[in-house]
Amino acid sequence: MKIRLLMRDKEYAEAFISKLSDYHADVYVEVIEMSELGNTDSTCVILTDYEQNLFEQSDLNRFSAQIIFISNKVEITQNNYMFKYQSFNLSMAQIAGQYYALTGDRVRYCGSSDLICVCGDCADYDYGYVNKSIGSKLKYCKGGEYLLISLQPINNYGFVDVNDRGRLSKIIYTLDSNKRFSLEEFCRSDEYGVYYLSLGIGINRLALLDWKTMWQLIERLKNYFAGIVVDVGSSFTLEAVRLINEADSIWWISDKYTDKIISQIIADPESKELHVLDCYKEDVDLEIDEIISNGGYSD
């Protein structure tokens, strides 16, 4: 992704570039002056704190799909405006969206992606509801794209109009081949902008993968998402347990939580970001919102 910074606030520009060094290995940034705007190619996102009335009308017309105006006013909601003091991840999500609209290329996250597992000891609990709540709230609070997948025996995240025959194999092959592709070829998003693999409803072929294939698939997918939220539920297969132990954070749904139960699944619980939710609570969605909003996940 190519970004050109046309900034009066040089300290902001320096801080932005400094942040990028920790965020992404595949972004090219150039600081320019107004006189250099004309030689910007059509695939660059232009980030500027200059007001629109300081641009030539011909430049505004030419670069209208490329410019994002940085504003001090939080109430501005136009697509080509960005609040100056929002989180860096949210800003990058907006810039990445603009870049995708220009080029059709997704921004690779290059290892900065989170792996989140939702699991617990309640056999009849709707873990999918928690999974979707976490995914949508992370997208809203942190920005970026999130993928929800299931390792439960039946894939309730599937789509009735998808022919499942060979579908997962095609997804794995496409990711392994490093060919150019659109994410929409094998993913669909819901009304909150959270993504799902476009697999069929029924037997969950993801849950049937051996560990090596499953982990390679997760690693490839992490290149395209800010985070992957995995619905493990109470299906503690060998592969699922290994995945939980690889996770950055774990949401545990319980009606009888004890450290002993956790220690049977997680080798080193203290090394994980662990959130325990009571399955009998009616306001579990509010609890998820509070955890994420109050820093359960940091930039």
Given a cut of 70, whether residue 190 has pLDDT beyond it is yes
Instruction: For residue 257, count other CB atoms closer than 10 A to its CB.
Output: 16
What SS3 class is residue 264?
Answer: helix
pLDDT at residue number 202 = 85
CATH T-level fold of 2-103? Rossmann fold (3.40.50)
Residue 83 pLDDT more than 50?
A: yes
Residue 66 and residue 45 in contact, taking contact as beta carbons nearer than 8 Å? yes
The residue length of the chain stands at: 299
CATH classification of 114-296 is 3.40.50.300, yes or no? yes
Whether the per-residue pLDDT at 89 is higher than 70: the answer is no
* CA 100 from centre of chain: 15
Q: CA-CA distances (angstroms) from residue 39 to 4, 65, 67, 182?
A: 11, 16, 14, 28
Count of beta carbons in the 10 Å neighbourhood of residue 154: 13
Kindly report, as residue ranges, where domains of CATH 3.40.50.10850 are found in the chain.
Answer: 2-103
Please write the tens of the pLDDT for every residue from 203-216: 888 899 999 999 99
**Which part of the chain has CATH 3.40.50.300?**
114-296
- Whole-model pTM above 0.75? no
